[in-house]
Amino acid sequence: MLGRVYPAEVVIEVATPPNAADKAGRFFFDRSRNAAQGTVNEAWAASGGEQIYLGEWHSHPADVAVPSGRDRRMILNMLHESKMSIDFLVLVVLGRKMDWVGLAQDGALHLLNPHR
């Protein structure tokens, strides 16, 4: 997901679709880091350095989405390894009936939509 960070809000502007270099199946998705970084770099350059990487999204084949252990490790590792100026990442997992939205910050993943 790409967007902009302002003093009082975070705006997610783009949820990029999978690309040809990604590997996906019903129960897995492996994003190509090189292809994804190219997309982020292009958006950053085209926006004059304002549009940045904000996090990840994907779907789960379940009515009520819940991030897997792999999802949790992935977003927290990405945040830890990040060289960005923001101190958080967003994780959105789409379900068939209910989605899960969380914020990775300070070494933990926090649920943002508690009234599910």
Look at residue 33 and tell me if it is in a domain: yes
Look at residue 116 and tell me if it is in a domain: no
pLDDT tens digit string along 37-50?
Answer: 899 999 999 999 99
Structural domain containing residue 29: 2-111
Residues 6+ apart with CB under 8 A from 2: 12, 13, 14, 16, 39, 40, 43, 51, 52, 53, 54
Look at residue 39 and tell me if it is in a domain: yes
Q: Taking residues 100-106, what's their average pLDDT? A: 96
Residue 116 pLDDT class (50, 70, 90 cuts):
low
The structural domain count of the chain equals: 1
The pLDDT score that the predictor gives to residue 105 is: 95
**Amino acid at residue number 29:** F
